[in-house]
Structure 1
Amino acid sequence: MTKLLEQAVEIARTLPPEMQDEIARLMMSLAQSAEPEEIDPEHLPDVLKSLAQAKRGEFATDAEVEAAFRAFEE
């Protein structure tokens, strides 16, 4: 397991069980996919920005991650 994946799992452990399950389902779905997901050209600049942030080690705090997941529940 890579360091980045270990960090993601550690963050996921702090989330409520239903959020952990959703993350697990997404991870399994991505791992089973033979084809990479296509990126909507409209979202590409944000994806590239996010990848650059990850490369620099800039990650969301636990509180930011929880807030983002809560936004999808509403």
Structure 2
Amino acid sequence: MSEIVKQAIEKLNALPPAMQEELARVVLDYPDDDTAVYHLTPEEEADLDEADREIERGEIAPPQEVEAMFAKFRVK
């Protein structure tokens, strides 16, 4: 087992069981080819559809707000 896999397993072991299961599903569902890895739930699809409608109505964040959000979560 590679070192990075060992590190990933250590991190997984520290997570709550529900998160461990979700990440395990992602790994198990990972395709052997170039098809999509993640399939949206109906709720996620509805959220994206609403986001598209918001964009069409011009309800978007100004560049300064977007940069502030990226700065807040950017890995340093």
Query: TM-score, normalized by length of structure 2?
Result: 0.42
- Select the structure of larger CA radius of gyration: 2
Larger RCO: 1 or 2 (CA < 8 Å, sep 6+):
1
TM, length-normalised to structure 1: 0.43
